[in-house]
Structure formats: C-alpha cells, structure tokens
Structure 1
Amino acid sequence: MTQLGELFAQGKVEEIWDRCCGFIDLSIEDFMKIQERLLQEQLELLKKCELGKHIFNGATPTNSEELRRSVPLTTYADYAPFLTKRRMDILPKRPILWQYTSGKNGEYAHRWAPVTARQMDEVESLVWAMALFSSCNKRKDINIRPNDAVLYGMAPPPYATGTIARCFPHEKFNFLPKVEEAERIPFEDRVKKGFQMALSEGLDYCLSMSSVTVALGNRFSQSSGKISMKFLLSNPKAMLRLLKGKIKAKLAGRPMLPKDLWKVKGLMTYGIDGSVYREKIKEQWGRYPLDFHGCTEAFLIATQTWDYSSMTFVPYMQFFEFIPEEEAVKSWRDTSYQPKTLLMDELKPGNYEVVITSFHGGPFVRYRLGHLVQITSLRNEALDIDIPQMIYLTRVDDQIDIAGFTRLSEKGIWQAIENSRVEYVDWVACKERVNNTPRLHLYIEPKDNTTQTKEEVTASIHEELKKVHPGYADLESFIGLMPLDVTFLPKGAFKLYKIRQQNAGADLSDLKPPHLNPSAGDLAFMLNTPTKVTVKQEEAVKV
C-alpha cells in the first residue's frame, strides 16, 4: 500500500489534501523554484544516458537558461528510433511500464513513452487531487470516503488513461468493475458492465472520457425501459433504484437521466470535447465534470479545481515553456525556424503552444506537444490561486485555414455543431476548393429523428460558427463568403466504419476517423455506406 493509501486508511484526509492539493497555494515564485530544481535534477540524469547525449549533441546545460540557449526544440521524430523499439538501456531512468497513443501514418504505428516509478508516484498524488477537487466546494471540503463506488470509463492500458486509473487507489474504493477485471475485457463490455453494477451498488464517482460520460447518459435516457427483466428480477436494488428514477423523471416531464438514479459526488473527465459537452453532462448527471489536460508524453499538465473553469498548471511532472501562437504557426510551416519560448512567469493572456521537458527520468527534452492552449488569466482571483490559468484549444498543426481569415479547430467546429442543436451521430470536416474558392465541407450523419433539411442544418451551423470563430464571421461581413458546405452521410456510416476497423484489428483510438481532414479513402467508405445496417452489425457496435 502506498503512503497516501495508508493515510486514507487511517482517516488522515486533511494530510492527503495538503500533500496532493497544496500546489494551488504556491506563489508563482515558488512554482518556478520547484520547476527549476526538478529540471536541474533531470538535466544531470540526461547527461549520463545515451538519449540525453543524443539530444544535447555536445551541450552540457545546467539550468533552464542554458537549456533554452543550447538545445533545440524536439518532436517525436527525434525519439522514434529509440522509443518505438522501447529501448530501456538508453533512458535517463529505467521505466516500470510503457504507454502509447496513435502514431504517424507511414512512419510508426504508435508513439510509445516510458513511465518511471517516480512519475507514477507523482501521478498518484495528482489523481487524488482531482478526486478531491471534483467533489468539494472549497479548500479542504473533503467528501471522499472509503468504498465509494467509482465507474471506470477510461481507455485501458497501454493508453495513458489506463495508467492514470492504475494510479488511483482502486483497492480502497469499489471500482465498477474491478480494475483487474476491467483490463481483461473489451472496453465497451467493461463500460456496460460497470453501468449495470452501478444500478445495483450505487455510484459516487465517474472516471471516464467526456464522450463516454455523455454516451452513457444518452443511452440510458433512450433505452432505460429496455433493461433486461431477468437482470432486474435478480437485482432488487437495481429494480428499486430504477423505479425511483422513473418517478423522478415522470414528475419532471422528461426521459430518465443518470441524475434521477444517482447523486454523484464527482465526475472526472478528459478529452478535447470536455468543454463541448460540459453543459450536456451537467444536464444529464446533475453536476459539472472536473476536466483535466494531459497526454501520453506529458501525463497531467493542468486540472480544473472546484470552480470548474480554467485549469491550473501542475509543477511536478514537467518543465514548461511556451511558444506564442504566431511564432508556433510560423515554425510549423518553416521547420528551419526556431522560435523563442517564454517561461510560466513570463506569460501574458493569449494563445501558446506548450513545450515540455520531462522530470523524474522521463525522456523528452524541449518537446513540442503541438498543443495550443489559451492563457485566460495569470491567476484565479476567485479562488486565490497564484498560477496562470489555461484552457486547451486544439493542436497547432491540425486546423483548417479558410482564406487566411480564420483557422478552424476541431473543438471550435464541434462546439458550433453542438450549439446548433442538430441531432447527429458524428461528423468529419475537411477543407476543399470549389471554383478556386476555399470551402469548409462538413460531413455529418444525422440521427433518425432529425427532421431538419440539409439547408436548415447548414444555416444553423453557419450561424454558430460565426459566434465561435470571429474570423469566420469576418468572411461573410468583409468579403461576402459563406464558406460552409454540409453533406449528410448515410445512416450507419460511422457504425460500419467502426466495424471495419474492429475487423482489421485497429486500436481503440482508431475506431473512429479523425474529425479533421480524414483520408480520401475513409471519406469514400462512409459516403458509400449501405443505407441499412444489419441487426448483427448493430449488436457489434453497441456500448
């Protein structure tokens, strides 16, 4: 059992708060001192290993100033020859596990990243912090209890979210299903089983992807009356909970929602769709989700606190540098250009690309994540947090530029679709040229109950895009261009795409096409989807 687990078993929850949540009480000066100290420890480790010598290329930096002056920015291509082969002999510290995310077409199937024991310890503290933040209303308002029921809806190892779930002190809680079992069964089966267990055993916390949280709410409101009678007869607690939920929903004059069944203490979600689905999750579950930002290479970068607004950076996992957006875009277009970076205490509100150097024996040095974030303020005045506040925007290198007026992000397009109230299954978008005019072409699969015409959907989403992207609105007001085209995809397009990927043995992250700029082959497949999906195929894709 870990030290934090022992403290929890002894009921010393305030000490857990101090250890895990204390970073929100740091001054920016103290934040930077921690960053510099941990960086200097990491630089000494890098100087002694093959990977560090390769990246340093003769340089011997001892602090952040020397590092920024003597070592160029890096991308995964600089590490791929070593990390894709999972070589442990060249690393600053020997890892205890490896995790991955999707790779680059034609170059490497996955981006692998090693995880050290010290990193796991730090992640454990941060997972505790998020659990505490998700269920409190002020500092040291501690509502977490032993044996609280936790719905486990994260992607399994070797994805980073599976590592995060392992770091959660799951032996002290009632995970639905148990982590050991969850990691042995397919993701969709796990979510379904966890949901059924929650009907019987109750639910206090939900740890899941934002889209899974919404999908659970949608599916339950649509099919709560179809729950197996055999299951209900063998689970009287589930039957009683369901009956009470139906009464609440009927009195409210709407379909049953998760909040009719459970009064959850906290929701912890991740994904670029977190802010897109924020209000929908609140409507379904009765409280806002606590969102956090991280990735395979950087683990946890920042987390919301109990005001559920912008995120607070965490100082313990990596050293932060920031490239102003204009400089970042310029350098992605011209790979020979080396932009200058700013440190955390040099920031002003605005948009920046995040650059990280791993701590605790991790491999990455001045590594460009490609993540564009917005610094919303230099501190959280309401909660007296003296650390810059951020929200995640998009990937710098994956946006759709329309006529130089606006760069449309996945998140922005998604938000406009959600705000339009169009009933849809999923969507993809790409930039096309029609009669030498740039167009944003949105391919969307409408739900069965959609009554809007393609023209009505186009007009509705166009109006919402103008609200989300001021530059998009300028296209119409300045040059009279309405650059949106909408095509309805056939019914079942995304389901059959998923079946095709599953049959090909694709990873969980590749079961859907990318929202922005899908390949011509993927787009052609969905456009030519048969209009009917067989019952067998329907069953294959149910969550």
Structure 2
Amino acid sequence: MTRPIELLRQSRKEELWQMCCGFLNLSLEQFMTIQNRLLLEQIELLKNSELGRRLMHGVMPETVEEFRQQVPLTTYTDYLPELVQKNEDVLPAKPTMWVHTVGRIGEYNFKWVPLPERFLCEFERVAGGIGLLASCNSQGDFLMKEHLKTLATMASRDYGSGIVAYLMQQALGFDLLPCDMAEMTFQERVEAGFAEALSRGLDAFGGLPSILAYVGEMFRQGAIRVDTRFLLSHPRAFACFLKGLIKSKLARRSLLPKDLWSAKVVVGGGADSAVFREKVEELWGRKPLEIYGATEGGVYATQTWDREGMTFIPNLNFFEFIPEREWFKWQLDHSYRPKTILLDEVKAGEKYEIVLTNFHGGIMTRYRIGDVIEITSLRNEKLNIDIPQMVFHSRADDLIDIAGLGRLTEKVIGEAVENTGIPYVDWVARKEIVGSKPVLHLYPELEAGYIASEESLATAIREQFKKLDRKYRSNFYRLIGDMETVLDLTPVQVTLLPRGAFSSYVARRQSEGASLESLRLPHVNPSEDVLSLLMTPRVEVEAVPATEAERAAA
C-alpha cells in the first residue's frame, strides 16, 4: 500500500492531496456511502470477536439499520476489564499498538485503546492530510516539503494526542526538535528544542492549545532560558536571536516566539482550542489548524485552510448523533435509551452528543465519547465542501477538563466540596468560559443560616483540589508546569444558588410526573434547562385571610 511519504518524496503533489485530503471533495451522499460500506465490514469483524459479540448483546445485525436498532450504546465501562488488561484475544483484529488517556479516578487509571494495523494505515493518511491543511495558505496551496523542523510540544505516541503527531511525522517526514528527548522533563525538552530551533530553524509545532499558549507565555516571561554561551558558540543561533530581539524592541514589547520564527504548520486540538486559539496566534504568529478527535477513535473532524468550522472525516469511524432533546431526556432518566440520527439528518444550529463506531477492526462500538458538538452549517459554501461543519461545544458526561486543574470527575469535585467543611444542601458544577478563560463553575446551595462569600468559597475549594491532586494525581497539567500562574488562570468560580433551589427543582419534576428514579440531579455538566431551574428563586406566597368586605364582594 502506497504511503503519503512516498508520494511526497516523488513530488506527486496531486496524488498526495487526493490520498490525504480527497474527502473534502465528496458529496454528502458519497460520504454516507463510505460510512455505510465500512460499517458493514466492521459488523462482520465484530461478529467474529468475543468482545464484539458481548457488546452487541449476542445480536447479529445484517444492515446498518439493524445495527443501530439492536446494538446498545456503550461507555468505557462496557469494555472492562479486557481493554485495561490489554487482552488481545477478544478483539476483532490484533492491535499494532495501544494508546491511552487519563481514566476515571477510583475505577481505572487509564483508558487503553487498541489500534489495529489497518486502522493505523488509514489514520496515517488522515494525519498527513492534517499536516497538509495546516500548511495551506489562504488560497489552499500547501507546502510540499520533507524535514520540516518541528518543536516537540506534544505528548509521546502512546497517548491519544501524541499518536496524531507521531503519524503526521511518519506521513510527512517531520524532524522533531530536540533530536534526543530521552529522560527529559517537559521544561528541559522545550528549552533544548528552542536552542536547536535557533540554529536549525522552526517550521512546525502542535499540541493542546493551552500548552502551546503556556510555552509561548513562558518564553515571553523569560522562564525559558537561552544560554548566552550557546549563542556565542553558534553564530546562526546568535543571528536569529538578535534579529528577533530587534524586532521585539521596535514593537516595544517582550520577545515572543513569532519574532524568531515564522511557523508554517501549527496544529491544535482539544476542548480548549477555541479558548486559546487567539493567544497562540498572538504568541506564535499563526492561527492553529483545529482538529477534533480523541484517543478512542483518532481524528473525527478537521478545519481546512479557511480556519472556520471543522469537516467530518469519513474513513476512521461511523458517526451517529444524539439530538440535544434526546440527551436531555437521558440526563433526567439514565434508564432512557436516546435515539440517534446520522450525518445526513443533522440540522444547522443544533447540538448533538456524538456516538462513534471504529472501522478497520477497532473495538469501540456505538461508543459515547462524552462530547456535545454543534453543527454550524450543512456545508462550507466558501470552499464548496458538501459536508456538514461542526465545532466542539461541551462535555456531555461527568468529566470536566480544566487547564491548571486537570480532569475532574464528580467524585473529586464532591470530595473537594466536602473537605472544605462548608455546610451545604447540594451542588452542581460545569465548565464555562469566563473572560476568555476556562473555569470550573460551582453552583452550591448553602444550608440555612450559613453565610459565606463566593470568593472565599472558591479559594477554599481550590486549595482542596491542590491537596486532592497529591492523592489522586488527576492534574496531568502539573507535568507541564504552573499553567495557572503563567496563563493567569483563576480556575474555580462559585455562584451561590438561592435557598430551596434543589427542593424546588425536585417538586417541579414531581409535578411533571417524573419517576423517583429520574429525580436524581446530575452533579456535573448540567444542561442549561436544569441550571436555569435551579437559579430561579423560589417564590413563597403567604396566605392572607380575606376581609368581610372582600367576601361580600365575591
């Protein structure tokens, strides 16, 4: 099978574009044909797999419709213990490698996901396409060049985010800086990479936008040191540094990475992409190409050279969508089985929870990854792309990822609130963007008679998160550095709910005929409808006896 790097080395530009980015020319009908064909192939692989049969509850669907009607939706717990034990005997195809991301505290430390050879081959082409799109200018012309110097700001390849960078390197022949990263901390790796980039140049970088912003801010603040002796012994590095310094002085500001290099390829992906996108451009001089994906299925969608909405990718996963109203029903009653629709049924302006099934021998089957996306338009009119466009909206489950805090579950948030010793009735929490920065916004109802300011509560809860991280190690950002200080983050905010908020909510749900099982309120990531009900003050009407005159008039 021909690989992208072979076409690149042979200067077969049109064939390389068609291999990696040809999906942009598909009609929606052609997109769905590919989806249905690959799903039918995957169903047969699942039927011959022990874990696949268990996930399908023993049914043997023959069509896409039967698959969607008969096979239940899944979450990662449905794949335990096989995936965390890396049991390859029960899988549809033997994995070439395993990748992982952070798991759930108290249940499993990591989510491990197998990647079969055929899946990786298709994934490499997608990763190559991302690199090509990231290098495009405003007219869509892409860079046809091997050995682009790339700053190593991404995770290692056994992480879900790192595998994209690894496969992009394999597809397009990027050179990583520093050359030797063995046994280096993140800070050491970045400093060594900057030093090499001063001598050799810097063409590309990528990773979580919050980390890209953090690295740029560290450089601005002088936390990334450039050794004077190194500069004096490397004339090219000295010239590069001096040129950048002059540029920053003329602009009357601190030295920024963009003063030293003109990056040609910048890729970013993650829940905070939209939040830190402008900051990355300010520091590095180029807006990142945003991609959407996760460990469980690779890359699901990507921006193109207009840097607007993201276009779905047809050949790695089968996509289903839970409409917002169906998701809301499920949130109120977890025994409810939400209905799904397909990509050719979505509507512009609507929000959906995304559900995926891996192709090419992967194992994730009708898997709820826990994300809500918004369909911004049914096609990209500007570039004539006939595939619905999307943006990431929010999490749909009880996981909150906050730069500076880490990945928090209901268990960790609840323990932090409890450990403050503050008397409360109940609470809900969700991730919000406040002043262009991500925060964990906690909404507690305090017990009657207890008075405290929202600021003091936020400080007390933040301190408890710091203590709990020593216990649970949920804040993986600490491996990067003090993002909270460098990026000037205030990651916890508190808004007090009115007295009786939760009892009023329960009373209202009961008046609507809700069952006892569905009265439990989701603590994490409540919907706008739920939060608005809680925020509405309870109105108590005092009964006043009618006067004689009023009774006579009646």
TM-score (ref. length: structure 1): 0.77
Taking structure 1 as reference, are residues 136 and 66 closer, same or farther at Cα in structure 2, changes over 3 Å only?
Answer: same
Tell me the equivalent position of 1:281.
280
- d(CA) in 2 for partners of 1:154 and 1:441? 40
Taking structure 1 as reference, are residues 386 and 330 closer, same or farther at Cα in structure 2, changes over 3 Å only?
Answer: same
Tell me the equivalent position of 2:53.
53
The offset of 1:195, in angstroms, is 2.1
The offset of 1:440, in angstroms, is 13
- d(CA) in 2 for partners of 1:35 and 1:49? 21
| Structure exhibiting the larger radius of gyration computed from Cα positions | 2
> Structure 1 residue 6 and structure 2 residue 6: aligned?
yes
The offset of 1:66, in angstroms, is 0.7
Tell me the equivalent position of 2:300.
301
- d(CA) in 1 for partners of 2:283 and 2:136? 20
Q: Say which is worse superposed, 430-439 or 15-24, in terms of deviation.
A: 430-439
- d(CA) in 1 for partners of 2:451 and 2:37? 50
Structure 2, unaligned stretches of length 5 or more?
A: 401-409, 411-427, 485-489, 495-554
Q: Say which is worse superposed, 34-43 or 388-397, in terms of deviation.
A: 388-397
Q: Say which is worse superposed, 158-167 or 116-125, in terms of deviation.
A: 158-167
The offset of 1:104, in angstroms, is 1.5
Tell me the equivalent position of 2:227.
228
1:240-319 to structure 2, matched below 5 A, reads 240-319=239-318
Describe the SS at the equivalent of 1:22. helix
Describe the SS at the equivalent of 2:95. coil
On the 8 A contact 2:20/2:126 being kept in 1, the answer is yes
How many aligned positions are there?
458
Describe the SS at the equivalent of 2:36. helix
Which one-letter code corresponds to 2:190 in the other structure?
A: V
Tell me the equivalent position of 2:322.
323
- d(CA) in 2 for partners of 1:517 and 1:489? 9
The offset of 1:436, in angstroms, is 6.3
Tell me the equivalent position of 1:430.
442
1:140-159 to structure 2, matched below 5 A, reads 141-159=141-159
- d(CA) in 1 for partners of 2:148 and 2:257? 17
Describe the SS at the equivalent of 2:221. helix
Taking structure 1 as reference, are residues 168 and 494 closer, same or farther at Cα in structure 2, changes over 3 Å only?
Answer: farther
The offset of 1:189, in angstroms, is 2.6
Describe the SS at the equivalent of 1:432. strand
On the 8 A contact 1:432/1:438 being kept in 2, the answer is no
The offset of 1:175, in angstroms, is 1.5
1:44-443 to structure 2, matched below 5 A, reads 44-137=44-137, 141-170=141-170, 172-178=173-179, 181-182=180-181, 185-223=184-222, 227-349=226-348, 350-398=350-398, 409-410=430-431, 412-413=432-433, 416-418=434-436, 428-434=440-446
The offset of 1:321, in angstroms, is 0.3
Q: Say which is worse superposed, 138-147 or 153-162, in terms of deviation.
A: 138-147
Describe the SS at the equivalent of 1:321. strand
The offset of 1:173, in angstroms, is 2.8
Taking structure 1 as reference, are residues 226 and 2 closer, same or farther at Cα in structure 2, changes over 3 Å only?
Answer: same
- d(CA) in 1 for partners of 2:169 and 2:399? 38
- d(CA) in 2 for partners of 1:440 and 1:22? 58
Which one-letter code corresponds to 2:69 in the other structure?
A: R
Taking structure 1 as reference, are residues 510 and 78 closer, same or farther at Cα in structure 2, changes over 3 Å only?
Answer: farther
Which one-letter code corresponds to 2:343 in the other structure?
A: M
Structure 1, unaligned stretches of length 5 or more?
A: 402-406, 420-425, 444-453, 455-484, 519-543
- d(CA) in 1 for partners of 2:187 and 2:152? 11
- d(CA) in 1 for partners of 2:182 and 2:331? 38
Cα root mean square deviation, aligned: 3.3
The sequence identity of aligned pairs, in percent, is 41
On the 8 A contact 1:429/1:440 being kept in 2, the answer is no
- d(CA) in 2 for partners of 1:225 and 1:191? 8
- d(CA) in 1 for partners of 2:449 and 2:399? 18
- d(CA) in 1 for partners of 2:193 and 2:454? 35
- d(CA) in 2 for partners of 1:25 and 1:439? 61
Taking structure 1 as reference, are residues 442 and 75 closer, same or farther at Cα in structure 2, changes over 3 Å only?
Answer: farther
Q: Say which is worse superposed, 21-30 or 54-63, in terms of deviation.
A: 54-63
The offset of 1:228, in angstroms, is 2.0
- d(CA) in 1 for partners of 2:175 and 2:70? 50
On the 8 A contact 2:159/2:295 being kept in 1, the answer is yes
Q: Deviations over 1:192-223 (max 9, x none)?
A: 32222112211111122212211121111111
